[in-house]
Amino acid sequence: MGAPKEKLPLFHIDLTVGEDKTPQYSNPPQDVVQLILSIFDAGIKSLQEISQVEQKLLQHLFKSNEKQYLKATVRPDYRPEEPDPENKKELPDENTWVFDEYDKLREKITNIIDPLEAYCNTYNGF
């Protein structure tokens, strides 16, 4: 629909010469990793801020006016333990998959930025 728009990169890192005359990047590659992970966390947090539509549309059915939110997933700080297979009443943590995806994302992005240091070092002789 309409004229095609120019596609902009999500991240832009320039190879520059530092004050000590050595090649370096305009932004540290580790900052890119942290930025992507913070975007992931912001997306998960925004899911927790979705209010219930029923409460707004059907106010007469709710006794209190306290704002209620949809049940959303959260990213745990550490990987939840697996439930004991002997205990049938114990359920697995429903947020384990979020932790696994976050960990996988961090690993993939870190693997992507690893070659950047070697690339920068190739210009040290010049």
Q: What angle do CA 94, 95, 98 make, to 5 degrees?
A: 135
Instruction: Provide the residue ranges of all domains of the chain, joining segments of one domain with +.
Output: 21-121
pLDDT tens, 37-59? 999 899 888 888 877 777 666 77
Q: What is the pLDDT of residue 69?
A: 65
Distance CA 43, CA 58 (A): 28
Helical segments of 1-124, H only: 29-47, 53-57, 96-121
pLDDT tens, 84-119? 778 777 777 778 888 899 999 999 999 988 888 888
pTM over 0.75: no
Q: What is the pLDDT of residue 66?
A: 72
Distance CA 41, CA 75 (A): 8
CB-based contacts of 16, cutoff 8 Å, min separation 6: 23, 24, 25, 26
Q: Which amino acid is at 13?
A: I
Report the chain's mean pLDDT, rounded to a whole number: 81
CB-based contacts of 55, cutoff 8 Å, min separation 6: 62, 67, 68
